[in-house]
Amino acid sequence: MLPLVLSLALSAPPEPLAFTVVGTGEGTLTGKLRTVSLTLGVEVATTNGPQTVPGLVALRKPDTALPPFPTGAHIITAVGDRVPGTVTGGDAKALFFAHATSDEKWSVALDAVAAVWLKPPAADTPPDPTKYTWLAGTPTRDALLYRNGDTVRGTLTGFTATGVKFIPDGGTARDVPLTDLAAIGFNPRFVRPRKPKGPYANLVLADGTRLNVSEIALKGNALVCKAVCGPAVEVPLTKLVALNVLQGSAVYLSDLKPKKTETTGFLGDGWAWAADRTVRGTPLLLQSNDGEETFDKGLGTHPKTVLTYDLAGKYSRFEAVVGLDAATGKRGRADVRIRVDGKELPLPELKTLAAGNAIPVQVDVRGAKELTLVIDFGPAGDVQADVNWGSARLVE
C-alpha cells in the first residue's frame, strides 16, 4: 500500500536508554534493551547481567509522562495512528505528508486515512473522528471543514499542488486551497482499518505521535519495525516514551464486552462507561509523579457503575492505573472496589479515591472466573467523580 521507507530518526545517543519492561512474569525489569520481539520477549541488560522478560506486554521510559495527543496539524489513520505534520500534496489514491520531526515524506493511501487536521483542532474536538459532527451525515461523504467553520460534503477526487479537487453534493467540481481549510474528513465507508492477525504494538513518542507497528526489532539505538498502515519505520529510542503490545499476552478491558453492567445515577440517569475514552468522550487523563498523562487504552467510568468480566480462569493478573480524571476530577471523590469471584480485595486507597496521583493496581486472578469493578458514590455523590482506568488489562 505504502512503498516508501520512512525514518523518524534525527539523532541517537551513544548508548541505549533504560526502559522498564512488563512481561507475563511477575515483577518488572528496568535496564538497557538488548533485543526486542513481540513474540519472544525482551532481553534487558541489568546490573546482574542480561535477563529475559518473556511475553512482552509493555515498555515505559522511566520518569517520563505519557504525552497528550497531537494538538497541531496531524493525520489520524483508520487504525488510530496520530501523526503530527503537514500535508504537502497528493493524488487520487494517496496524500503526501511530512512528519513534524522528520525530513522524510510520507505517502499514505487515502483509504487508510480517517481525517487530516491542517490547523490545530478546537479544544473540545472529540478524539474519535467518528464523533466529528461536521463529518457525520446520511449518506456518508467526504467533508471539508473550512477555517470559518463552514462544512461542505461531497467527494474528494484528488489533489492539486496547493489544494484538493472536490465535487460538493449538488455542485460542480472545484479546486479548494488547503489554506482555506481547517480539516479534511474522509468517507467512513471507504476507510479500511487493517489490523494484523497477530501481536502488534502501539508506540507513543515524545511529540505525541501514536503509531501502530509490527515486526519490531532493535537495531542499535532505534526500533526498526513495520507500521500497520504500510511503511517500514525507524524510531530512535530517544523519542520512544512507551510501547504497548496489542493482541498479544495481554488483553485490554476496553477490547472486551463485560459479562454484566449496572449503572445508577445519583440524581437522574447513570453514566455509560466508555472504552479508551472518558465518559464524556475526552482522552483518558491521569495525574502521576511525572505530570499529567494521556492513556491510549483504558476505561472511562462514573459512579455508580458496576462492570463484571468473564475470566474463565485464563489470566494470571489484572493491572491498571486508577484515578480521578486529571481535568474533570480535581475536587472529586469516589469509592472504588475490585472483586475477584465475588470477594472484595483490600484496597483502601481506592475506597477513598480522591484527586491527586493515580493509584497503580495489580491483582492476582489466577484461576478466577470473574472480575468485577465497582465505582460507587463518594461523600459528595458523583460530583467531579469521573474515574479513569489507564491501561486496564488482563495478563495471561
Residue 7 belongs to a domain = no
- Cβ–Cβ < 8 Å for 4, 95: no
For residue 252, the Cα-to-chain-centroid distance in whole angstroms is 12
Among residues 363, 66, 393, 360, the alpha carbon closest in space to that of 249 is found at 393
- Cβ–Cβ < 8 Å for 144, 160: no
- Cβ–Cβ < 8 Å for 23, 30: no
Residue 12 belongs to a domain = no
For residue 212, the Cα-to-chain-centroid distance in whole angstroms is 9
**In this structure, what C-alpha cell is assigned to residue 219?**
537495531
- Mapping DSSP onto H, E and C, the string for 330-344 reads CCCEEEEEEEECCEE
Please check whether residues 241 and 280 belong to one and the same domain: no
> pLDDT tens across 350-366, in order?
999 999 999 999 999 99
Please check whether residues 236 and 262 belong to one and the same domain: no
Last residue of a domain, one of 211, 229, 249: 249
Q: What is the Cα–Cα distance from 382 to 280, expressed in whole angstroms?
A: 14
Residue 385 belongs to a domain = yes
Please check whether residues 376 and 349 belong to one and the same domain: yes
Q: What is the Cα–Cα distance from 210 to 339, expressed in whole angstroms?
A: 33
**In this structure, what C-alpha cell is assigned to residue 109?**
493511501
Residue 104 exposure: Cα atoms within 13 Å on the Cβ side = 20
Last residue of a domain, one of 209, 224, 249: 249
Q: What is the structure's pLDDT at 104?
A: 67
Q: What is the Cα–Cα distance from 319 to 92, expressed in whole angstroms?
A: 45
Residue 3 belongs to a domain = no
Residue in the block written with cell 483508520: 78
Please check whether residues 61 and 143 belong to one and the same domain: no
**Mind giving me the DSSP string for 44-64?**
EEETTEEEEE-S--EEE-TT-
Residue 13 belongs to a domain = no
**In this structure, what C-alpha cell is assigned to residue 252?**
485490554
Please check whether residues 311 and 265 belong to one and the same domain: yes
Please check whether residues 141 and 207 belong to one and the same domain: no
Q: How would you write the pLDDT of the chain (396 residues) with one tens digit per residue?
A: 334 444 444 444 444 589 999 999 988 999 999 999 998 899 999 888 899 999 999 999 999 999 999 999 999 999 999 999 989 888 888 888 888 876 667 788 888 999 999 999 998 899 899 889 998 878 889 999 999 999 999 999 999 889 999 999 989 999 999 999 999 999 888 888 888 899 999 999 999 999 999 889 999 999 998 888 877 788 999 999 999 999 999 999 999 999 999 999 888 788 999 999 999 999 999 999 999 999 999 999 999 999 999 999 999 999 999 999 999 999 999 999 999 999 999 999 999 999 999 999 999 999 999 999 999 999 989 999 999 999 999 999
Q: What is the Cα–Cα distance from 373 to 371, expressed in whole angstroms?
A: 7
Last residue of a domain, one of 190, 208, 224: 190
Residue 275 belongs to a domain = yes
**In this structure, what C-alpha cell is assigned to residue 176?**
479548494
Please check whether residues 229 and 328 belong to one and the same domain: no
Q: What is the Cα–Cα distance from 243 to 240, expressed in whole angstroms?
A: 8
Residue 255 belongs to a domain = yes
Please check whether residues 45 and 167 belong to one and the same domain: no
Q: Considering its fold, how many domains does the chain have in total?
A: 3
Amino acid at 194: R
Please check whether residues 204 and 59 belong to one and the same domain: yes
Please check whether residues 237 and 263 belong to one and the same domain: no
Q: Whole domain around residue 234: which residue ranges?
A: 18-65+199-249
- Cβ–Cβ < 8 Å for 338, 350: yes
Please check whether residues 35 and 167 belong to one and the same domain: no
Q: What is the DSSP letter of 378?
A: B
Please check whether residues 98 and 146 belong to one and the same domain: yes
